[in-house]
Amino acid sequence: MRFYLLGGAAIALAAVAFFLIASKPEGANAEINVAAVAEEAVLNLYSARHYDTDQRLYSDFTEATGIQINRLEDSASALMARIQAEGANSPADILMTTDIGRLWAAEEADLFQEVSSNILESRIPAKLRDPDGQWFAFSQRARVIFYDKARVDPADLQTYADLADPRWEGMICTRSSSNIYMLSLMAAQIHHMGEDAARAWATGLWNNRARDPEGGDTDQLRGIASGQCAIAVANTYYFARALRREVRGLANPEDTSRIGVIFPNQQTTGAHVNVSGGGILAHAPHPENARLFLEYLASDSAQAYFSAGNDEYPAVEDAPLAPSVASLGEFEADDLMLIILGQNQRLAQEIYDEVGYR
């Protein structure tokens, strides 16, 4: 899959109209049928997405449908534990979270129910949704390599495997191995390299650390800006966000202009991509409202806002990109089925632990 900016998309995004249209198969009525909502006009959303900009998504849905969203935010692990404790009496209709590893864990815990929706199946690519309709991805983020333009020649760093090259000893900053983004990246390496090569890769990456892992993705980028790191592994939306607004530690144009971006493995597997998504919970008291909300998240307006509001890549093909995201350039994405990342997650942590990657 290639990500690119459609002609005129930057202009369109500046004045995007957030009317609720969920594109259906050709010939079908594209309007959300509000009259068909027979349930109480309420939706209870448990969300591990902690982005203030998401409020626009919720308010637009409520304005178009009259369905009021009650939102509870916490970490994914805390929300899943709460749903399990609430059992059949849970008020939650939908769980939204980041990373396929968490969606996979929720599915393995039997938290979701199967959803049948022509809209979701036609709009969300097969690799970005559960085969049985238990969860759907609505936005994407590439996990790529960032580098100090003054210290690194990008020609020497074109693949994830290159991160383990001893030439980068003392130069790389990453998050902790227990971080879900790092686990999914390792899960992809296991799939593409095999277990033994992935173990060697983890060893090399750990040996090349500039410091022990600390902080989030923005902290890795700050490490480059401060000179502590020459190379960092992070998700694209953290950097795209810093390009369009002031981020602590990346407040000056000199900070971001110092940093270059590499989309790895462009001649082989493509860059590692993960997602944010959700599903309808097994005991959802308002399942029809929940289905309408998921279909809304796949609409043109919501997909545009995932990019414009939080600098993510849309899940729907050909949806426009925000200028900050498009400025990162075109790239080929890894096309592996996301469920593979969930299946390899436990082994990923075992390998990190074996090599002492903290």
Domains of the chain and any CATH numbers: 2-140+275-328 (3.40.190.10), 141-271+338-354 (3.40.190.10)
Q: What is the pLDDT of residue 14?
A: 30
Work out the number of other CB atoms within 10 angstroms of the CB of residue 4: 12
113: left (phi over 0), alpha (psi -120 to 50) or beta: beta
Q: Which pair of structure tokens corresponds to residue 184?
A: 């999914």
How far, in Å, CA of 308 to CA of 322, rounded? 5
Greatest CA separation for the chain: 63
| Residue that the structure tokens 């938290």 belong to | 111
Please report the sign of the dihedral spanned by the C-alpha atoms of residue 116, residue 79, residue 59, residue 298. negative
Tally of CA atoms within 13 A in the half-sphere of 273 that contains its CB: 28
Going by the DSSP 8-state scheme, the letter that residue 336 receives in this structure is S
Q: How far is CA 189 from CA 33, 183, 199, 334, in A?
A: 44, 10, 9, 11
Question: Which pair of tokens denotes residue 67?
Answer: 């369905």
Extract the runs of DSSP E, i.e. beta strands, from the chain. Answer: 2-3, 42-47, 68-73, 94-98, 136-148, 172-173, 231-235, 259-262, 273-280, 313-314, 331-332
Per the CB < 8 A criterion, the answer to whether 282 and 200 are in contact is no
Q: Identify whether the C-beta of residue 239 lies closer than 8 Å to the C-beta of residue 259.
A: yes
The model's pTM: 0.87
What is d(CA 271, CA 160) in angstroms, rounded to the nearest whole number? 9
Model pLDDT, residue 75 = 96
CB 84 within 8 A of CB 111: yes
- DSSP conformation class of 39: S
| Burial bucket for residue 27 (CB in 10 Å: 0-12, 13-18, 19+) | exposed
Q: Which residues contact 35 (CB under 8 A, 6 or more apart)?
A: none
Q: Which of 227, 208, 223 is nearest to 156 (CA)?
A: 208
Residue 42's DSSP bridge partners are 68
Q: What is the pLDDT along the chain (358 residues), one digit of tens a residue?
A: 544 333 333 322 232 333 333 333 332 333 344 434 457 999 999 999 988 889 999 999 999 999 999 999 999 999 999 999 999 999 999 999 999 999 999 999 999 999 999 999 999 999 999 999 999 999 999 999 999 999 999 999 999 999 999 999 999 999 999 999 999 999 999 999 999 999 999 999 999 999 999 999 999 999 999 999 999 999 999 999 888 876 666 766 778 889 999 999 999 999 999 999 999 999 999 999 999 999 999 999 999 999 999 999 999 999 999 999 999 998 999 999 999 999 999 999 999 999 999 9
CB 72 within 8 Å of CB 46: yes
What's the start-to-end Cα distance of the chain, in Å? 33
130 vs 227: CA distance, rounded Å: 42
Residue with tokens 């790389």: 172
Q: What is the pLDDT of residue 37?
A: 43
Give the contacts of 257 (CB within 8 A, at least 6 positions apart).
Answer: none
